[in-house]
Structure 1
Amino acid sequence: MIITRPSHPNPSHSALTAFRTGASIWTSFGEAGAALWFDSLPAHDGLPVVALGNAMLPDSAQSHEFLQNLTDFVAEEMKRDCLLVGPMNGNTWMPHRLVVESNGRPPFMMEPMPPSHWQGLFRAAGFEELSRYSSGLIDLNSAAAFATDFTSVRDRLKQSDVTIRPVDPSRFEDELHALHGLCLTAFANNFLYTDIDEATFLQLYLKARAVIDPELVLIAEREGKPVGFVFTLPDPSAPDDQATLVVKTLAVAPERDLRGLGSVLVDDVQRQAKANGMALAIHALQHENNQSLRVSQRFGAEIFRRYALMAKKITV
């Protein structure tokens, strides 16, 4: 197995790409390869966590041998018990997870879809599921999509001086600056969460400026400050008669009087999407234990894909 560190004078393109996102080491074995991040994630159950990402794992015995060798290398490098977690490109803001169940629906915009054989490779190398996620589909023309009455929640939010408005496309970057701070607060308790610097946050979301519909990105404010938002994208791969909205990010400040704001934001954006002629909504990549999944269930979401983050405990 070849080990490449950031100090290498002439790293491969794959290694250089990983190092630019903070990877500690690039490892390769024939056609197989992966990056390792040793200090990008919080501890889990008292164990330091090493992220395994940017992986290239062809469907071959070589990939299986590579993952086995990688485990031994991490044990030697860490010199203590740890948890090797993957696939994850450094942190939860970046692509992570592999598919463990699917009904065969084609991938939607920005959906990470590692090759299907990865699940078998990770399991054969001793990895087990650490956390589960899912994506659900909502028929905006069904009765279930708008069956829940949020009138009382809306009245309470109004009494708390909460207002909801669409994003201002002429001030898109300024809007993102304000939403960055909200995300750090709203997601602080998410599984394996780490903060992201403002520059990286802007880089991730500015890419969407050309494709968003401003009517379908909603911001909730109080006293001029954002307290919640829902960020969605139209799915360009959907056929015209099945125009689809992808609900990518839902964030609400953790304040007691904002209970229900996430559901109201989703309800508003889906009503607007339906008025705009859209037929479906996808609630994307939700941790199966978090509030976002409970919000989806209120709108009759039917899960069509499940994902898992895999982990292997390494004992030295």
Structure 2
Amino acid sequence: MKKQSFHIDGAKVTVYLDGPAWDGKPSATLGAFSCKTMQSGTSVLAQAISFVRDQGLNQIIGPMDGDTWHSYRFVTQTDGSPSFLLEPGNTPDALEVFKKAGFTEISGYFSARVPVVKTALTTPTATTDFTIEAWNGTHPEALFDQVFNLSTQAFARNAFFKPITRDDFMAMYMPMVPMLKPELIFFARQPDQTLAGFLFGTPNYAEGPKPTSAILKTYASLSKGAGQHLAHAFHKAAAAEGYETAIHALIHDDNLSAIRSASEGADIFRRYGLFGLKLNG
């Protein structure tokens, strides 16, 4: 990963020169951005933009730590409720610095919450195309190997997708294994036992050792309807485990899951944006 970091007193940013395509063209990304003042943030961002231009690129995406497998997005709206586990965060100044530099929102996302007793009652139509099973908690390397294979297929259709190596994927996710709760992780399997989809849920440990909310963090499927069945299994399990609230985390505004979240009566409490800048000349 080609990158260069810039620092000014009270501000920093990292430029990734091999970011994902935007509108079919190569882009740089700006990640790890922070600033203590608007002035320092503006200065360090100007350095980063100048560097990108000097490298012959004229599109920049941010904030993004190189790709969508890593941290990206700014919080753009919030009701002030506490951050949940693994949620991106930023100061209002950071967002304003990007906007003043000419960045505009190119993709929107949201997080919503809903009482699990409400969603657990909504049973999807039965199917023989796949079966839903919870992870038994064993062989995590084999688990993540399957998840990697399905993720690279399912997410390849997403905007700003960039492939990642299996080794890099494992390096990111294997350290999370001690935090995983098997009863909140589900798989959809076809009759021949091939993987049709997966869902990763986790307790919201940001609340402390005994959280009352569970996060529907990530799911992907290659079979129509698998996502709805996986989500139902998650909500039902969360209710059985005594969680009060489900957090539907970081959903793209145009995703089918956004429609499903709304239909389940989930209330949006945070919005996020990914921003872009096209340079002239």
Normalising by structure 2, we get a TM-score of 0.93
Distance 2:99 2:139 in 1: 47
Paired with 1:30 and 1:56, the residues of 2 have a C-alpha distance of 11
Q: Distance in 2 between matches of 1:23 and 1:58?
A: 26
Query: Match of 1:38?
Result: 17
Instruction: Measure how far apart 1:299 and its partner are.
Output: 1.9
Residues 216 and 234 of structure 2 are in contact (CA less than 8 Å); yes or no, is this contact kept in structure 1?
no
Equivalent residue for 1:220?
Answer: 188
Instruction: Spell out the pairing of 1:226-237 with structure 2 (5 A cutoff).
Output: 226-237=195-206
Partner of 1:312: 277
Q: Does 1:166 align with 2:141?
A: no
1:54 and 2:32 aligned? yes
Q: Judging changes above 3 Å, is the alpha-carbon distance between structure 1 residues 106 and 180 closer, same or farther for their aligned structure 2 residues?
A: same
Q: Is 2:43 the counterpart of 1:28?
A: no
What residue number does 1:189 align with?
Answer: 157
- State the alpha-carbon separation in 2 of the partners of residues 240 and 39 from structure 1: 39
Code of the aligned partner of 2:94: W
CA-to-aligned-CA distance 1:25-77 (integer Å, 9 cap, x gap):
222233322111112312x2243211011223222312112223332332222
Cα 1:209–1:46 shift into 2, 3 Å:
closer
2:134 partner amino acid: P
Residue of structure 1 equivalent to 2:249:
284
Q: Distance in 2 between matches of 1:237 and 1:46?
A: 38
For the pair 1:274 / 2:239, whether they are aligned, the reply is yes
| Mapping 1:59-98, distance limit 5 Å | 59-78=37-56, 82-98=58-74
Q: Deviations over 1:224-254 (max 9, x none)?
A: 221101001101233789611111111101x
Number of aligned residue pairs: give it: 280
Q: Kindly provide the amino acid, as one letter, of the partner of residue 230 in structure 2.
A: L
User: Which residue number in structure 2 is paired with residue 296 of structure 1?
Assistant: 261
Q: Any residues of structure 2 matched to 1:104-143 within 5 Å, and which? A: 104-142=80-118
Residue 111 of structure 1 deviates from its aligned partner by 0.6
Question: 1:117 and 1:28 mapped to 2: Cα distance?
Answer: 17
2:231 is equivalent to residue 251 of structure 1: no
CA drift of 1:314 comes to 0.6
Q: Counterpart amino acid of 1:56?
A: S
Query: 2:173 matched to which residue of 1?
Result: 205
Structure 2: segments with no counterpart, 5+ residues: none
Q: Call closer, same or farther: CA 1:182–1:241 in 2, change over 3 Å.
A: closer
CA contact (8 A) 1:98 1:114 kept: yes
Rounded Cα–Cα distance in structure 1 between residues aligned with 2:137 and 2:121: 31
Shift of 1:133: 0.8
Residues 168 and 175 in structure 1, CA contact (< 8 A), matched pair in contact too: no
Q: Cα 1:239–1:57, aligned 2, differ >3 Å: closer, same or farther?
A: closer
Do the aligned partners of 2:13 and 2:44 also contact (CA within 8 Å) in 1? Answer: no
Deviation by residue 1:252-305 (Cα, 9 ceiling, x = unmatched): 01xxxx321101100111111101111001111111111222232232211100
Give every structure 1 segment of 4 or more consecutive aligned residues whose post-TM-superposition deviation is greater than 6 Å: 239-242
- Aligned partners of 1:250 and 1:292 also within 8 Å: no
Residue 196 of structure 1 deviates from its aligned partner by 1.5
Given that 2:28 and 2:61 are in contact with CA atoms closer than 8 Å, whether structure 1 keeps it comes out as yes
Distance 2:94 2:4 in 1: 21
Cα distance, 1:284–1:69 mapped onto 2, change above 3 Å = same
CA contact (8 A) 2:11 2:41 kept: yes
- State the distance in 1 between where 2:257 and 2:171 align: 24
- Superposed CA deviations along residues 196-245 of structure 1, whole A, max 9, x for unmatched, are 21122222222222122211100111212211010011012337896111
Q: Is the Cα–Cα contact under 8 Å of residues 38 and 93 in structure 2 kept in the other structure?
A: no
Whether the 8 Å CA contact 1:23–1:35 is kept in 2: the answer is no
SS in 1 for 2:268: strand
Q: Are the equivalent residues in 2 in contact too, given 1:135–1:306 (CA < 8 A)?
A: yes
Letter of the structure 1 residue corresponding to residue 249 of structure 2: A
| Largest Rg, 1 or 2 | 1
Percent identity over the alignment?
28
Q: Give the residue type in structure 2 aligned to 1:76.
A: D
